[in-house]
Amino acid sequence: MDVITIGLVSDTHGLSRPSIAVALAGVSLIIHAGDVGGGAVLHELGAIAPVRAVFGNVDPPLPPLEARLSLELGGLSIHVSHGHELGAPTAEKLLAFYRADILIFGHTHKPLVYRDGARLVVNPGAAGPRRFNLKPSVARLVIANGEATAEIIPLPE
């Protein structure tokens, strides 16, 4: 059985917490869902695993950040965008707008794991500076046997 474990990060806003490395130890890929806040964050995440990242509403739309990612891993399609392109993103809006099996977004700073049949929507929450009275978090996405599961991991402050 092939198992793929992916670290999900969003809304770091320039802050790379050391606890991210502990939370995402052993992942084979890190996906950053935008509002990165600079190359230093990507560099530090890259010490954990290879990183793919999209830009958020506060990032310049410049490489290596992409507007959106479309990936195929473990037989499942994955769409990644910050979510701000939908205004106030919700799981329902993403499911209606994008067709992928797994939808990953950020922007709201609110961690979310939402299942709609075989489809999965994940917002890892915000790993950066604490805002909106929400605790920082990341997520782990596991793909095994053509199925995906996700877990939110709170980060110590």
Per-residue model confidence as pLDDT tens digits over 112-155: 999 999 999 999 999 998 887 889 999 999 999 999 999 999 99
Question: 1: pLDDT confidence band, cut at 50, 70 and 90?
Answer: low
Tell me the pLDDT of the chain averaged across its residues.
95
Instruction: Enumerate residues 6+ apart whose C-beta is below 8 A from 42.
Output: 32, 36, 51, 53, 64
Mean pLDDT value of segment 26-54: 97
Q: Which residue has the tokens 């506060």?
A: 58
**pLDDT, tens only, 9-39:** 999 999 999 999 999 999 999 999 999 999 9
Instruction: Answer whether 77's CB lies under 8 Å from 116's CB.
Output: no
pTM of the model: 0.96
For the segment 40-55, the average pLDDT, to the nearest whole number, is: 97
> Quick one: what percent of the chain has pLDDT higher than 90?
92
- The conformation of residue 108, written as its DSSP 8-state character, comes to S
Q: So what's the pLDDT on residue 131?
A: 81
Sorting pLDDT into bands at 50, 70 and 90, what band is 157? confident
